[in-house]
Amino acid sequence: MLPIALIGIVLGFRHAFEPDHLAAVSTLASRPGRSSLWSVARLGLAWGVGHTVTVGAIALLVVALGVRLPADLWPAAELTVAGLLVLLGGSVVWRYARGRWHMHLHAHEADPHFHLHSHERDAGHAHGHARADARRSLGFGIAHGLAGSGAIAVLLVAAAPSAGLRLAYFAAFGAGTIVGMLAVTLALGSLVRVASAKGARWATALHLGSACVSVLAGVVLAQRVLFGG
């Protein structure tokens, strides 16, 4: 059981670093104005939990109940993920281009930092975004659990020779995935803090750059599914 668990942790950790997974979280995690690394870490935890729950549900259907899922489910799920990546990144670029988002310098408990604001609906400076971003990250995790990479994870779970080993592998794979994405978001959060310390221009460039990468990743993923590229 120990070797199976170690393999699951390693593969789950690596799984978190797939390009479309990184793109899904980077735009949210690179948003300036988070007062602590914990607010960024929540995004990684939410994505990992969503992904693990979906893969677990599919594994239960396929491995335990013997349900045969339609073959076109996986490409449809990947196209959905591709569309979400383009929508997430494109909406950020659009809001900056329209001038609906801009940054202000705030001081909270003698710790000045930049906040990203939207004045689309009111002229105030409220900036409570962390909870909404965590829900989006959870949604991306759920969607990625349905995509092709999630299907591969289910096959790996099914390859274990006994029910106990399957459970051990799935638990280790899920834990490795969550830890991997947690590491990704913490690294991005640290990078955002460094960029914000240099000024609003650097923080904006990082956020916009992440949004453009999200759009590009979505386009590449869609092209791969539709044309086999």
pLDDT digits (tens, 9 = 90+) for 118-144: 545 444 444 444 455 788 889 888 888
Task: Find the domain containing 51 and state its range.
Answer: 2-98+128-227
pLDDT digits (tens, 9 = 90+) for 46-104: 998 998 898 888 888 877 787 887 878 888 888 999 999 999 899 888 887 776 544 54
Q: Is residue 123 part of a domain?
A: no
Q: Give yes or no for a contact between 115 and 129, defined as CB atoms under 8 angstroms apart.
A: no
CA 123, chain centre distance (Å): 31
Q: Is residue 161 part of a domain?
A: yes
Q: CA-CA distances (angstroms) from residue 141 to 3, 16, 57, 108, 137? A: 27, 10, 13, 32, 6
Q: Is residue 109 part of a domain?
A: no
Q: Is residue 151 part of a domain?
A: yes
Q: Is residue 61 part of a domain?
A: yes
Q: Is residue 40 part of a domain?
A: yes
CA 109, chain centre distance (Å): 30
Share of the chain above pLDDT 90, in %: 14
The overall average pLDDT reported for the chain is: 78
Q: Give pTM, 2 decimals.
A: 0.77
Rounded CA separation 120/99 (Å): 9
CA 41, chain centre distance (Å): 11
Token output for 104: 């202000």
Say how many domains are in the chain.
1
> Crossing angle of helices 130-146/148-159, nearest 10°?
60
